Structure 1
C-alpha cells in the first residue's frame, strides 16, 4: 500500500509492507485534525493546500503503529476544540486471510470481514483497544492486574457457576489459558467486547499486528541515510528482520565465543593460578591470627565478551566508486528507502 501527498510541499511517502489492508482511519483531536475519517485504496494520494493536515494524517498513523518510538505526545498535540483532552486514532483493516485470522485470534473470528483497533492518549496515558469476541464475565476477571486478585476472581467464578466446568488453576497464566480454552469451545456464548490489549504492538512480546504489517513513514525532511543502518527501529533493520534468519549464525558464533571463553579461563588458571595460590595461602595465614574457620581465596575473573551479532551495512556502487549511503544526495537516499519498502 502506498500513500503520497503533495502539491504545495515536497512529496512525502508512507509505505506499508502488509498482508492485511487498511480500509479506513478515523482520527480525532490529533494536532490540527479535530475529526477526520479517511478511506484508503491500494494507492491513495492526499492533495490540498498547505496547512490542511495532509502530513498530520500520516503522522497520526505513524503514532498509531509505532507509538513513542516515532512520536511522544503531550497536551500540546491535543486539538484546541477537544473536550476532555483525548486523542483517538482508529484503524480498520480488511482483506483478512486465514493466516491473518490465526495471528489475530479472537480479534478476527471466522465470519468477520474486518477488524478495528484504536489507540487513545489522554493525560499521558496510552491505551490500545480492539473489538473481540469474549465471554463478558471473563473480561471482568481479565481486567484485574494483580495475580492474586485475578486468581481469586477466577475461583469465585468457577465455584459460583459450576456449569462452566472450569478447571482448578494455580497461577494467573493458567487461569487466562483456561478462560481462553473455554471461549474457543463455546463460541455461541461469546459477544463482541472492547478489549484493551497491548499485545497488538508487542509491548508484552507478542506483536500481533507486527507480524502482519510494517509501517515506514519517509518524510521530506528525513535524514534517510539513518534508515539504512541495521538497527531494530530502522527501515533496513526491519527488512532484514523479516528476510534474514540470524539464528544459525548466532548459535555458531555463540559456540565459538564459548570455546574462546573456556580457553581464556585455562590461560588465566595456568598463568595466574600458582601466584594466586601463594597469595591466598599467605593472606589466610595472616587472617588466622585474628579469627578462625575462614580462608582467603583469590582467583582470576575472566570477563566474557558480549555475544557476537552479525550486522549488515549498505553501500552504493556508482561506476567505479563505492560510497556510503550518507554520501549520497537526499533524493537518492529517500528513493532507496522507498524502493526497499515497495511490496514484492
Structure 2
C-alpha cells in the first residue's frame, strides 16, 4: 500500500502551477469553475482512467494546455508516502526520504497535434551525488564508483562523508546523507520511463487502486459487482483477494454433474423405445442391418454451470430497504 500525499499540476487546463495537499480523506469544495473537476481529471490522466472519459486522456489536445501554451509540457506529479516495505523495495531506485514521486508528462507534438502522456519517476536527490548514482545504476565497476565517491569527498569536505568503503557502502552513505539533509535535495527527473499505469507495466497498481466515480453517475449501473464497475474494483482490492470459491464450487460442480448423469441414465428408456421403432423402420426402408440409437448426452462444460457469486449493493433509507433503482438521486 501507499498513499497520495500531494498532487502538483503544471500547465494543465485552468491550472498554471498549483499543488494540492491530500489527507486520508479530502473533499474539494468550491464554486463552479474553481477547478475541482480538473484535479480529478488530472488524476484520471495519471492513472489512465479512460472509461467514460469525454476526451482523450492518453493523448492530450491543444485545449488541455493552460492558455494553449504548448511550448511547455503538461505535468501531473504525484507524491506518495506511507509506502509498505514491499513497495519501498520495489521502488528502491526512486524512493527517497520516505517518498516516491512520479510524474505524468505530456509534450506537444506539432506534427501530430497531440501530446502523448508518459510517466517518469523523480528522485529527490542532491545534484552533487547525481553522477555517482547514475553510474551506479549503469552497472559501473566498483573502482570507478570509488573514484567518483572520493571526488565528492574532496570537493565537499563540509559534507563529512565517511571513509570510502565497498560499492554498496558508498551508495548507502550518500543516500543516508540525502535523507538527513532533505533541504539540500532537488527533484531530478529519471531518464527512463517509469511505467506506472500503462501498457508497459503496472508497478504502481500493485499498491494503489484509483476508483473514479463521476459527480453525475447512474448508481443503478454500479451496484452490481463487475470488472469495470467502481464496486467491482473496490471488491477486487479488498474482498476478492481474501476469499476463494474456486475449490468448493469445483467440488459442487463435480457432484452435481455426477447426479446429472444418473438422472439422464434413468431416463434413457424413453429414448430406447423410440430407437427400436426407428431401427425397425430403417430395416424395412433402407437395409436389414441398419440401426438407429438415441442417447441423452451431456457437455461437461455446459450442462452444469455454477459461477462464482457476485456481490450486489442494497441500500436502506428509513424503514425501506431494497435495490438502488428504487431510490432517488439524493442517496
Q: TM-score, normalised by structure 1?
A: 0.55
Query: How far apart, CA to CA, are the structure 1 residues paired with 2:73 and 2:141?
Result: 39
Identify, as 1 or 2, the structure richer in strand: 1
Residue 188 to residue 258, structure 1, CA distance change in 2 (3 Å): farther
- SS of the counterpart of 1:106? coil
Is 1:195 the counterpart of 2:192? The answer is yes
**Aligned twin of 2:104:** 119
When structure 1 is superposed on structure 2, of 55-64 and 70-79 the one drifting more is: 70-79
What are the within-5 Å matches in structure 2 for residues 78-89 of structure 1? 78-79=64-65, 80-84=67-71, 86-89=73-76
Query: How far apart, CA to CA, are the structure 2 residues paired with 1:129 and 1:220?
Result: 30
**Aligned twin of 1:304:** 301
* Deviation string, structure 1 residues 159-218 (Cα, Å, up to 9, x no partner): x97989xxxxxxxxxxxxxxxxxxxx84745997343132x33746x6443343333344
- SS of the counterpart of 1:330? coil
2:245 to 235, 246, 249: 249
The alpha carbon displacement at 1:301 in A equals 9.6
What are the within-5 Å matches in structure 2 for residues 48-197 of structure 1? 48-69=30-51, 71=53, 72-73=56-57, 74-75=60-61, 77-79=63-65, 80-84=67-71, 86-108=73-95, 112-122=97-107, 123=114, 125-131=116-122, 136=134, 186=168, 188=170, 193-197=190-194
**Aligned twin of 1:40:** 22
Residue 138 to residue 267, structure 1, CA distance change in 2 (3 Å): farther
Structure number with the bigger relative contact order (C-alpha 8 A, sep ≥ 6) is 1
Maintained 8 Å contact 1:63/1:70: no
Query: How far apart, CA to CA, are the structure 2 residues paired with 1:78 and 1:264?
Result: 60
Identify, as 1 or 2, the structure richer in helix: 1
Query: How far apart, CA to CA, are the structure 1 residues paired with 2:264 and 2:191?
Result: 61
* Deviation string, structure 1 residues 115-162 (Cα, Å, up to 9, x no partner): 10111234353322213699646977xxxxxxxxxxxxxxxx8xx979
- SS of the counterpart of 2:76? strand
**Aligned twin of 2:282:** none
The alpha carbon displacement at 1:267 in A equals 10
- SS of the counterpart of 1:241? helix
What RMSD over aligned residues (CA atoms) do the two structures have, in Å?
A: 4.6
2:226 to 212, 226, 231: 231
* Deviation string, structure 1 residues 203-234 (Cα, Å, up to 9, x no partner): 46x64433433333444322233332212333
- SS of the counterpart of 2:217? coil
Maintained 8 Å contact 1:228/1:325: yes
Query: How far apart, CA to CA, are the structure 2 residues paired with 1:234 and 1:162?
Result: 51
The alpha carbon displacement at 1:66 in A equals 4.0
When structure 1 is superposed on structure 2, of 76-85 and 233-242 the one drifting more is: 76-85
User: Which segments of 5 or more consecutive residues in structure 1 lack a partner in the other structure?
Assistant: 1-18, 141-156, 165-184, 276-299, 333-344
The alpha carbon displacement at 1:244 in A equals 2.1
Query: How far apart, CA to CA, are the structure 2 residues paired with 1:64 and 1:20?
Result: 15
User: Which segments of 5 or more consecutive residues in structure 2 lack a partner in the other structure?
Assistant: 108-113, 126-131, 145-166, 176-187, 276-296
The alpha carbon displacement at 1:39 in A equals 2.9
Residue 239 to residue 67, structure 1, CA distance change in 2 (3 Å): closer
Q: TM-score, normalised by structure 2?
A: 0.57
Residue 43 to residue 308, structure 1, CA distance change in 2 (3 Å): closer
